[in-house]
A and B are shown apart, each in its own frame.
Chain A
């Protein structure tokens, strides 16, 4: 089986992190974002993954070579020369997705994290015998998104309504699709929207079915959702294989620590924290609801909450970071600095406090 992951654009909402690496390679729970999806695909027998990209192909290709070997799955790129929207890239990758076997292929949106119940989706698809299946997820505020109106029992999709003014349903497109090769005949090689142009046509022919996604779902394309997403991911990890999470008197709630990270005495870590490879957390540090990327050093007595600390940065002693502080790569905060929502671009040194949310170029 094959799969296409829509990687697309510049990841501007995840800046400053995406100023250093392309978005799919930004780490989430100590793994490049896209690796979560590639691993889920491989687990159900997908043999080839195509990445639809339009930005920094060289960086992506280097990454791929490394992981192709490790994972034993073929990874290729399909590069857009102009933005093709949400459906166009599928047409562009046509030759890579069809192998004559008639098997359906997956299409995933790269910003999404979830439990990826792909095996259940394959069964669902076979059962209804339609042309396309999509995962939908229940949300509290459906009018922020595109709502999928469907028949509850069969899952047959009636229509899509973009940002509805009145309540039409509370299920939205989760960005995970399983499509028969015939869908490719419906997509022209031009900027096309899958929700506005392709799916409505398939729905009108009663061939589009939706499955409600069990478990969590999050679009982690922006920092606030990234942090919420980590909480959901770690919660799900606890239910499945809690051995990966850290235990001990220094830990509260769900905490993921890479085995090469070092944590000092007297720290209190958690809940909802991920600490990456090679990190050094000195003694007396408090971390909660944050992500600490590879190679970061957090010095003594510091308190970090609701923040993301980028690769190879250092945070001085007695510092306090909170309220969506995001440090890009190689940022160095001096001792005793307070940051309230500071967003700091890579390669900066910060010696004075940031009292209110501010971007530091």
Chain B
């Protein structure tokens, strides 16, 4: 029987600094998204793959950060989930290669590789079937988006072969972007090894001329065993009938790590209950919401939260143990664990950043245990943990 394994790249503490200040206390993959740790969503998607033997999480966070989660999710889903710690970052493909022996333990015929911070409907079964039809080395999930924040691909419209790949281009290349979800046959390991060896040879060649070593910026930058999936594998293998693409059919799904308001994802939680809820809202059973509050659309309220009378919440994530006091307004923000929002205060960010990924602060984030005093206004700002705001701020990072 053909077995399949899935690998989810979770990164490490030195990566994901863009997720600060929320990642100070919690590794980004365990950050709650619609009531579950972020990594739970790709893991649940993997569970739906037929003949799935194991799920591996690969990263360079300390093992103890994941021990509890991994054992509880293995029990819950009745499938082995293991966290494999890299001794140092190897890159998205290098990490896969580093653990190839463990990954190939059960002799899987196919290996799924997912990026942990992707928010997606994960049509993995369809992807596997498409991949078997193309019979290439790998299939990449792509989607039509018009952001240049991601890698862009050009695919043959008929054969679906991956013809060209470029990382974060400055000019328009294609409207198809790399979703960060892949399926490979075990040949991928050979391909990764080829890249490593090639790089070593290049480095050896360069040793002959020290002048060249000084000139070329790329040769000295990456160690031999640091292999990135996108730049080092997709790009060179494009157009060689090795890689194919499958399009994500649903529109309106987001990939950026702060686009938490995917309607599908949030509808998975509890939906509308009464007149005080609008649109998709998730409320944890232990949270208390005053009947005169108006919540939504696109709001997630976590455990033990208290929402006071007359509060208005739009497009926000309220984490555990937060208290939002009477008549406060929170829009397009993330409020960190144990924070307190004072009466009549206003915490917001500019209206939905339409493709404005470059706007540094199109969202307001309050770290853990931040106190916003009564009547204070916080706009487009990031506040680090344990701060008290007693004056209004705008467009600032509060250390």
Contact = CB atoms under 8 A, between A and B. Distances in A.
Contact of A10 (B13, B386, B397): B386
Interface string B17-50: 1101100100000000000000000000000000
B14 A359 contact: no
B387 A12 contact: yes
Interface in B119-149: none
Contacts of B14: 330, 347
B17 A345 contact: yes
B399 interface: yes
A345 B387 contact: no
Contacts, number: 27
Given A12-B386, A15-B384, A347 B17 contact: yes
A214 to B, nearest CB: 35
Contacts of B385: 10
B152 to A, nearest CB: 23
Contacts of A361: 17-18, 20-21, 382, 397
Contacts of B20: 345, 361
Contacts of B13: 347
A19 B23 CA distance: 12
Contacts of A347: 13-14, 17
Interface in A7-38: 9-10, 12, 15-16, 19
A325 to B, nearest CB: 14
Given A347-B13, A347-B17, A19 B24 contact: yes
B28 to A, nearest CB: 13
Nearest to A55: B386
Nearest to B388: A12
Contacts of A207: none
A311 to B, nearest CB: 14
A348 B13 CA distance: 10
Contact of B399 (A9, A16, A330, A348): A16
A359 B396 CA distance: 9
Contacts of A19: 24
A81 to B, nearest CB: 14
A68 B13 CA distance: 32
Nearest to B20: A361
Interface in B247-278: none
Interface in A164-182: none
A361 B399 CA distance: 10
A52 interface: no
A3 interface: no
Nearest to B18: A361
A359 B387 CA distance: 16
A60 to B, nearest CB: 16
Nearest to A19: B24
Nearest to A13: B399
Nearest to B19: A361
Given A12-B399, A347-B14, 11 more contacts: A10-B386, A12-B386, A15-B384, A15-B399, A16-B399, A345-B20, A347-B17, A348-B17, A359-B399, A361-B382, A361-B397
Interface of A: 9-10, 12, 15-16, 19, 330, 343, 345, 347-348, 359, 361
Interface of B: 13-14, 17-18, 20-21, 24, 382, 384-387, 397, 399
Across the A-B interface, the 4 shortest Cβ-Cβ residue pairs: A347-B14, A15-B399, A359-B397, A10-B386
17 contacts: A9-B386, A10-B386, A12-B384, A15-B384, A16-B399, A19-B24, A330-B14, A343-B399, A345-B17, A347-B13, A347-B17, A348-B17, A359-B397, A359-B399, A361-B17, A361-B20, A361-B397
